[in-house]
Amino acid sequence: MRARTTAAVAVAALLGLTACGSGSGGAGDDGPITLRMTTWSANEAHVALFEEIAAEYRKTHPDVTSITFDAIPFENYTTTLTTQIAGGNPPDLAWILENAAPDFVSSGALLPLDDTLKGADGYDFDELAPAATKLWQADGKLYGYPFSTSPFGIFVNTDLVKAAGAQTPAELIAANRWNWQNAAKLAASVNAKTGRAGLVVRDFDYKGWDNLSTVWTGWGAEAWSADGKTCGFDRPEMVEAMTFLHRATFTDRAFPGPGTTTDFFAAEAGMTVTQISRASLLKDAKFGWDLVPLPAGPKGDYAVIGQGGLGVLRKGRHADAAADFLAYFTNPANSAKLAQFFPPPRTSLLTTETLAKTNPLLKPEQLEAVVIDGISTGVVKPSHTGQAELSQAVRSALDPLWKPDADVPAVLAGVCTAINPLLAK
């Protein structure tokens, strides 16, 4: 309850920024400038690249005396960020998760970026893919650069799969049999034969429920309608998808159950659903691995995208300078460097040739099947205004589902009962 209240209060404070006045820049743009950017990643390779780009920028901008990257744990990222804003200590730039995008974009907390980006030499603003920028726009203005448009795929520990005596996902794909039913059978076999977890939906951990959209989208299910007004949890497609997931977890042991901490990248699971930005964790892997698209669902092939947008806080101390750095950070040359971790929205960079140069761990066919095809066809994870309160309500209402004897349809109907008043706001 305390976490729920903190999140709600922080977001309310964020929304209140609109009433505090607006301006194109924060105070303090004269004299030495220090910039702070919040991110969700403390990955050494990510941070090293960020700092390399920042160092190059400062060579031609001596008035910017420092640029720091403030990593906030993923599970508390948005709550911590909005608490900083509410406390009068906003960063200059912030990496915003897709589920918080509607709140940030509609609140007036972010500086419009169009003029700065279009005015930057060689920026090529028009090559930003419209599908990638849609979530970050309001009233024809761009309030967040879709810094990472990253489809979800499945990383596979091929050693564990072979130890289980099972066909690999690559073999199932070749036989046109890569679907969720066979993926669950494979995962259950890995668990039964090796004692390791079968398949882990990374960052779910029975808390981050929106990550389950990587599964239920295969059934044509959705958390709510496209206009955000109608609950989708009690729809037949969602009931079927969640029944599959419940059975695979509690009967077949294909997914690890509640209370189990499992890290694929430490060789503790046969497969994991996650994004390609995690590939760097496999640099020194002691096991064979592969990357494949999400399995087909009853509705056929599909893709799900997670997005992170980079925005400038209107009330930051150096908003104009921050916007200028954002333009440099995301220009074509730096976007090409960042593409090794974060698939860019630039159409010119979404080729196997370009992505292969900066993703040496991934094969061209993996980049084509998971990244390029995923970006062109994928749907973004669920997002909605009032996401903090809504997310807590969904999580709480879903808690009874994570028991062996759960009544799946009844629980999902309860989710709609809990969130319908919030969707109606």
Residue range 114-172, pLDDT digits in tens = 999 999 999 999 999 887 898 999 999 999 999 888 889 999 999 999 999 999 999 99
Query: Rounded to two decimals, what is the model's pTM?
Result: 0.79
Kindly state whether residue 349 falls inside one of the protein's structural domains. yes
Number of domains in the chain: 1
Computed over every residue of the chain, the mean pLDDT equals 90
pLDDT of residue 255: 98
248-275 pLDDT, tens per residue?
999 999 999 999 989 999 999 999 999 8
Instruction: For Cα atoms 417, 395, 206, give the angle at the middle one, nearest 5 degrees.
Output: 140
Rounded Cα gap, residues 116 and 114, in angstroms: 6
CATH number of the CATH domain containing 67: 3.40.190.10
Distance, CA of 425 to CA of 31 (rounded, Å) = 45
Residue 233: inside a domain: no
**Is residue 70's pLDDT more than 80?**
yes
Is 234 among the domain residues? no
Helix (H), strand (E), coil (C) string for the chain:
CHHHHHHHHHHHHHHHHHHHCCCCCCCCCCCCEEEEEEECCCCHHHHHHHHHHHHHHHHCCCCEEEEEEEECCHHHHHHHHHHHHHCCCCCCEEEEEHHHHHHHHHHCCECCCHHHHHHCCCCCHHHECHHHHHHHEECCEECCEEEEEEEEEEEEEHHHHHHCCCCCHHHHHHCCCCEHHHHHHHHHHHHHHHCCEEEEECCCCCCCHHHHHHHHHHHCCCCECCCCCCECCCCHHHHHHHHHHHHHHHCCCCCCCCCCCCCHHHCCEEEEEEEHHHHHHHCCCCCCEEEECCCEECCECCCEEEEEEEEEECCCCCHHHHHHHHHHHCCHHHHHHHCCCCCCCEHHHCCHHHHHHHCCCCCHHHHHHHHHHHHHHCEECCCCCCHHHHHHHHHHHHHHHCCCCCCHHHHHHHHHHHHHHHHCC
Q: For residue 21, is pLDDT > 70? A: no
Q: Is residue 209 part of a domain?
A: no
107 in Cβ contact with 19 (< 8 Å)? no
9 domain-assigned: yes
With respect to residue 400, please indicate whether it lies within any of the assigned structural domains.
no
| pLDDT of 26 above 80 | no
Confidence of residue 217 (pLDDT cuts 50, 70, 90): very high
**219 in any annotated domain:** no
Task: Give dist(CA 182, CA 314) in Å, integer.
Answer: 49
| Domain of 65, in residue numbers | 2-150+306-380
Position 99 in a domain: yes
